[in-house]
Amino acid sequence: MQTLLVIDGNAIMHRAYHALPPFKSADGTPTNVVYGYISMLNKVVTDFKPDYLISCFDTPKDTFRNKLFKEYQSQRPKIDDDFIVQIPLVKQAVDAAGIERMEKDGYEADDLIGTITRIFEKNKFRVIILTGDKDIFQLITENVFVASPQLGLANIKIFDRSEVEKKLDVKPDQIIEYKALAGDPSDNYPGASGIGPKTACKLIHQFGTVEKIYKNIDDVESEKIKGILKNEKDNVLISKKLATIVTDVDIDLDIEKLKFKVFNKNLINFLEKYQMNTLIKRIFNVKDVEKKEEPKKEKADQIGLF
């Protein structure tokens, strides 16, 4: 069985930004996100040896979720400027490495990942999704797995169906039901106010889906919970729509372009420009790299994570 590796671009950029100290190239350009992203990419390529590879990214424009619920993700703080300036640099690095990249206005990277995952899964591929976002867990099946960085970017934990059940007490395909009931503070949608994680799991174990809960609302034992469910029905149903990853986005996908063997050597020029000589040595097994000023670091010991 051949393997597709899908990179959740924004999730890994955020993980890199918070895992590494701020450091810059000789011209003052922040580079910790770029360094962390390419380091992580090299690690998973080495570990999983994928036959196909793609990175998916969000775009700055609102998605259908923002139109569906105006407060969606509205509580998130403004992204730091040092992060923002590195987003195009990460994309440049991905392009230089010869890796297919995809983004689409109106959708999150999650939706592209979901769509690509189902296409490859139907064609009998094993799919590994690299992300720190637990929403992606809903895509896990017998042949779809999530590789989740732990402790910054140093270690990776593989989640399959059983690991998800251990962690969340629901099956992967029930995560949208769970979020419909319990909400998601990180994305700022409500669920049913008054229903917490334990109650949500109990209802899912008993009924399976939100729709079945409302179809059999009289079978809910607690009068208090029954009242909450009735009063919060609109919020529950809209929260389920917000939580559900789209798996049928209209995308232009040429599977042949996703084939991967090694990083394109154009990446060397990019890394040299920003003095990332250690990455050149590691990725391309180059012993002697022309010495240029290395990135300025505040805490060099953390670079050892990679």
- pLDDT value at residue 304: 35
Which two tokens mark 95? 């392009």
- pLDDT value at residue 302: 37
Cβ atoms of residues 74 and 186 within 8 Å: no
Rounded (10°) angle between helices 161-168 and 175-182: 20
Closest listed residue to residue 9, CA positions, set 133, 157, 123, 189: 133
From 162-171, 276-285, 292-301, the region with the lowest mean pLDDT: 292-301
Domain ranges in the chain are: 3-161+246-296, 172-243
- pLDDT value at residue 288: 54
For 172-243, the fitting CATH number among 1.10.540.10, 3.40.50.410, 1.10.150.20, 2.60.40.1930 is 1.10.150.20
Q: What is the dihedral of CA 107, 110, 115, 121, to 10 degrees?
A: 180
**What is the distance between the alpha carbons of residues 23 and 82, in angstroms, rounded to a whole number?**
10
- Could you read off the pLDDT of 231-282 as tens digits, one per residue? 999 999 999 999 999 999 999 999 999 999 999 999 999 999 999 999 999 9
**What is the distance between the alpha carbons of residues 188 and 133, in angstroms, rounded to a whole number?**
15
DSSP labels, 160-228: -HHHHHHHHSS-GGGHHHHHHHH-BTTTTB--STT--HHHHHHHHHHHSSHHHHHHTGGG-S-HHHHHH
Look at residue 266 and give its three-state secondary structure: helix
Assign domain 3-161+246-296 to its CATH superfamily. 5'-nuclease (3.40.50.1010)
What mean pLDDT is predicted for residues 138-161?
Answer: 91
Rounded to two decimals, what is the model's pTM? 0.91
- pLDDT value at residue 285: 85
- Could you read off the pLDDT of 18-67 as tens digits, one per residue? 999 999 999 999 999 999 999 999 999 999 999 999 999 999 999 999 99
